[in-house]
Structure 1
Amino acid sequence: MDDGIPDPSAPERRLHPWSWLFVLVQQLKQFIFPLVALAIFGGRNDRGGHWVELAPVIGIGVLVVISVLQYFTYRYRIGRDGLTVREGWLHRTQREIPFSRIHNVGVHQSLLHRVFNVAEVRLESAGGQKPEAQMRVLGLPDALALESLVRHHGHDGAAAGPAAAEARADDTLLALSTAEVIRLGLVSNRGMIVVAAAFGAAWQILPERMMEGFFTRTARQMAGYADQLHLGWVAGAATVVALVGLALLLVRALSVALALLQFHGFRLSEDARRLMVERGLLARLRTSVARRRIQAWTLHEGVLHRLLGRRSLRIDTAVAEKPDQGDQRALKDLAPIATPDACDALVHHLLPQARWPREDWRGVPASSGWRLLLPTASFVVPLGIAAYWHVGAWSALALAWLGAAAYAARRNARRMGYSVDDQVVVVRSGWWSRYWRFAEIDKLQALRLTRSPIDRRCGTATLWLDTAGASGMAPPLRLRFLPEQDAEAIYRRLSTALAHRRLRW
């Protein structure tokens, strides 16, 4: 059967009988704040009478009806080469999803899913801003069977037979112990992100006067308590430092807790030319992606990584994402944290043509350091001059800031480098926080050679390399501050290679 042609002999299936409950929970999450606000503030208005008091109940009743209708109107059929999905009551839609077009398969189990022994399945492709199919929910055996069917589907569109599927044993490439997950929490900033998001949500939801009053009262209480203790200048400064240190410890402890929730039991395995990750403590997530769908690779090593002797390895895939939802369920982390040798072994196994680690690095001109310093200097120097008229000698701190930035810029310039051959393009950068980013030439979609006014003055250029699926969190794949002749030579070389090669994504 050709791709996209349904199999009429295959029976239609429904979602799990409890699927309406999970759809209802998801909808309640979206409307919880309006319903709560209506229940709290609606009762204060006597104009609507009892109808205002019953409005939240009516709203929940409507959501229940919608959830039940979705269960009765959602059907899917599994064919030999693809999946047929039919849904809708008044507005009906039917989608044909060939297995060969599915780039990522995700099986998600929240704590409630695990209680009912069900799972949510997401099938994603390289296109659009939402999954091709999102099934809430299937019985866990049915979800795992569908995931296995997609994982074992060959490149030629023929599904793997049962014997071949049994012959393929999962090959574990990386497994994280609880101690490693704790290290991940120590080096990550997940706790700070959650705290910042909580403050932002509070400012948006709660009245502005309430938030201002909270901070004002807290500041006054702390100042009054400090006056009662009669602390000196040194003791007061030490107390402030201790409080800041305690806050940082609490945020770091929150990061460790979040890392345990998200990455406990992390296991990366390889099966049927696909990579699969399982992770999660309360909510379990299984997601897989074909190796050929990987577009770019990023090795990262921060300061805390180096202190613990660790790195992280992330990938970009050709799966489109919603810009407002991030990539919490997408397979991005091949190694959230691992030793440098383990990361190098993963890259060597999954991308042998990269010849990793590289030895043929080419650096940038040593004079590039002042160009890295220029953005900071253009901000710090005017700030220091303006501060001199208000704080006098204290404005000299701006010079210390500038000196530290100059040192960091010089070290960054020394570490910047690139390597290009007939298979891959590799870029390294960073000193305080280091990264190595690389991509196969067959995965490059576009080249862009740019020259700013400073580039034209210095005789340099920047070469930008674009791949599919690059996220905003990943550093750009670019060759900066190259001599103009070298940049044009690499541009011509890669352009010729792209013109004679087929894009693989």
Structure 2
Amino acid sequence: MQTEALGENKPERRLHPWSWLFVLVQQLKQFIVPLLALLVFGGSGGPGGVWAGIGPLIAVGVLVVISVLQYFTYRYRIGRDGLSIREGWLHRSLREIPYSRIHNVVLHQTVLHRLFGVAEVRLESAGGQKPEAQMRVLRLDEALALESLIKHRGQAPDADASAVQADSLLSLPTAEVIRLGLVSNRGMIVMAAAFGAAWQAFPDRMVADYFERFARQLFGYASHLQYGWITTAAAALALLLLASLLLRLLSVLLALVQYHGFRLSEEQRRLTVERGLLSKLRTSVARRRIQAWTLHEGFLHRLLKRRSLRIDTAVAEQQGKNDQRALKELAPIATPDACDALIQHLLPQAQWPRSEWTVLPAGVWWRIFLPTLIFIVILALALASYFQNAWGLAPLLWLPWSAFAAIQQARRAGYAVDDRLVAIRGGWWSRYWRFAEIDKLQALRLVRSPMDRRMGTASLWLDTAGASGLAPPLRIRFLPEADARLLYLQLSQALVRRRLRW
């Protein structure tokens, strides 16, 4: 497509005059930890001499120059059929992005963005490892207008269409967000990430020495108390419970920051999620881009009678599984009835919830138990050989629980296939239901391991365009070979007759 066709000779536009500041802040976030470590531990008395002291200032100056250059060299033009983006100084590039290629639009506002009345805009497609365009930053009204223009494929909405309000499908009050924090492990993840960052940023042995001194002081203090073993065990258990409580409180705080004001809405068959307390996030995706669905229910979810509903899109897969700005959660937490109602609304021709499931043969539990059995036995033999006593065999005590859990998983495992949907269910302590429309399947694989060939079984793997790293794979395991081949033939014929809906 020619530039004139996309741009229609309209004038090029610049980013917001303060965009260089936000580019600088973003770059400083990536280097702030090593810069601080260099500034604190690499002073003029260190091995680097004077250069170690002024090095961080030189680095910040270089980042400022790069940020200002990016502002002066970045241009974009809004056309009838797409966007034209020109950037670069020494290495120049011109990108033509048709509106039809843009699958996801993300508007992001941090506290700093809100103070300046601006927003960052990300335009994502199903191809490539990076966004099609990342505009840091536009005025908020310009960002909203660009989002609306892309939603309507370059056509300005008429008065009647603009007057139509988006339908609200789900909103989370503060009580639900608190429940989300209670069932999540965000606090533990953040603490582990902070510990890893500190270990990498600070000098060798500094973090290890700190924890060693802390542990020595703690155990030294405990030894002077001269408590019995029962009191000591109770104190250790109380410390573990206190740490768990603090982590849960941190998880609740993080959930409030990330999901406060969560609202899922629909406008012209396009889903939009808005959320955030300090940093506002608004992301949208067309309904037809959804590739697969996952319902999840952990142990704490069941206690609170809640579930979560996630989706896979090709955009989320290509742009990175850990990108928090991609639209992956339609319902971070909701009642089972609310999740089912969402699915029924978005997949009106599919039968959900399923009333009938084909269960796996009762004897497959040992196939689930076998990997754990092998690992535990090898671990126990290694520990027994190392310690030269019976305590090394302690991991074998875990085998009865693992066998019980495998039996329960086998009892719950099942699948359901009709002319619209293929679905699987699994798990026991943490349960899931995963399904996809047959029109979204891209590949089928009939897999037989050496154990499968010996036992006369097979597994069927189903692939879609998107796959979340947090979701279980869409596969049906340990089927009798005849049943697996019959199901493979049934789905293959359905894929041949139907056109892939991307």
Task: Give the TM-score taking structure 1 as reference length.
Answer: 0.94
Alpha-carbon distance in structure 1 between the residues aligned to 2:15 and 2:63: 18
Deviations 1:69-123 (A, max 9, x none): 1111111111122111111111111111111111110000001111111100000
8 Å CA contact 1:300–1:436 kept in 2: the answer is yes
For the aligned residue pairs, the C-alpha RMSD in angstroms reads: 2.1
> Is residue 152–residue 165 contact of structure 1 (8 Å, CA) maintained in 2?
no
Determine if contact 2:44/2:53 at 8 Å carries over to the other structure: no
* Residues 309-354 of structure 1, C-alpha deviations (whole Å, 9 max, x = no match): 0000000011155677712000000000000000000000001222
Local SS of the residue matching 1:241: helix
Equivalent-residue separation in structure 2 for 1:294 and 1:324 (angstroms): 16
Give 3-state SS (helix, strand or coil) of 1:43's partner: coil
The question of whether the paired residues in 2 share the 8 Å contact of 1:4 and 1:96 is answered with no
Range that drifts further, 450-459 or 176-185? 450-459
Distance 1:54 1:210, change over 3 A: closer
Q: Secondary structure at the match of 1:147?
A: helix
Cα shift readout 1:34-88 (whole Å, capped 9, x = no counterpart): 4334434443358987565433323222211111111111111111221111111
User: Residue 18 of structure 2 corresponds to which residue in structure 1?
Assistant: 18
**Mapping of residues 245-256 of structure 1, within 5 Å:** 245-256=241-252
Shift of 1:163: 2.5
Give the aligned partner of residue 438 of structure 2.
Answer: 441
Q: Indicate the larger mover: 490-499 or 117-126.
A: 490-499
Q: Mapping of 1:66-77 within 5 angstroms?
A: 66-77=66-77
Q: Does 1:187 align with 2:186?
A: no
Asked if 1:84 is matched to 2:84, the reply is yes
Match of 2:7 in 1: 7
More deviation, 448-457/299-308: 448-457
Structure 2 match to 1:467: 464
Quote the offset at 1:196 in angstroms.
1.1
Question: 484, 489, 492: which one pairs with 1:492?
Answer: 489
**Counterparts of 1:398 and 1:484, CA distance in 2:** 35
Determine the structure 2 residue equivalent to 1:209: 205
2:424 corresponds to which of 416, 427, 437: 427
Go from structure 1 to structure 2 and tell me whether the alpha carbon gap of 1:311 and 1:48 turns closer, same or farther (over 3 Å shift).
closer
| 2:449 matches 1:452 | yes
Match of 2:124 in 1: 124
1:340 and 1:471 mapped to 2: Cα distance?
Answer: 22
| Residues 1:443 and 1:483: Cα distance change in structure 2 (over 3 Å) | same
Matched residue type, 2:356: D
Change (3 A) 1:387 1:21: closer
1:406 paired to 2:386? no
Match of 1:483 in 2: 480
- In 1, distance between residues paired with 2:469 and 2:4? 33
**Equivalent of 2:214, from 218, 224, 232?**
218
2:353 equivalent to 1:354: no
Say whether residues 1:93 and 2:89 are aligned partners. no
* Cα distance in structure 2, aligned partners of 1:231 and 1:133: 64
What is the TM-score when the length of structure 2 is the normalising length?
Answer: 0.95
User: For residues 434 and 391 of structure 1, what CA distance do their matches in structure 2 show?
Assistant: 40
Deviation at 1:363, TM superposition (A): 0.7
More displaced 10-residue stretch of structure 1: 31-40 or 135-144: 31-40
Distance 1:40 1:382 in 2: 46
- Name the residue aligned to 1:311: 307
Mapped to 2, the partners of 1:204 and 1:373 lie a distance apart of 38
Could you report, residue by residue, the CA deviation over 1:202-245 in whole angstroms, capped at 9, with x for unpaired residues? 22122232122112211111111112221111000000000000
Shift of 1:385: 4.8
Q: Any conservation in 1 of the 2:126–2:318 contact (CA below 8 Å)?
A: no
Q: 1:396 Cα deviation (Å)?
A: 6.8
Match of 1:381 in 2: 377
1:136 aligns with 2:136: yes
Structure 1 distance, partners of 2:229, 2:46, is 57
Tell me the residue number matched to 1:294: 290
**Letter of the aligned partner of 1:178 in structure 2?**
T
Q: Percent identity?
A: 69
Q: Displacement, 1:377?
A: 0.8
Contact 1:82 1:99 in 2 (8 A): yes
Query: 1:106-165: per-residue Cα shift (whole Å, max 9, x none)?
Result: 000001111111100000000101100000000111111111222233xxxx63532243
8 A contact 1:275–1:288 mirrored in 2: yes
CA distance in 1, matches of 2:341, 2:316: 28
Question: Is 1:442–1:501's contact at 8 Å kept on the other side of the alignment?
Answer: yes
Q: Indicate the SS of the match to 2:143.
A: helix
Unaligned segments of structure 1, at least 5 residues:
none
- Secondary structure class of the residue paired with 1:6: helix
For residues 36 and 182 of structure 1, the distance between their equivalents in structure 2, rounded to whole angstroms, comes to 35
Q: Displacement of 1:284 after TM fit? A: 0.4
CA distance in structure 2 between the aligned counterparts of 1:438 and 1:31, rounded to whole angstroms = 41
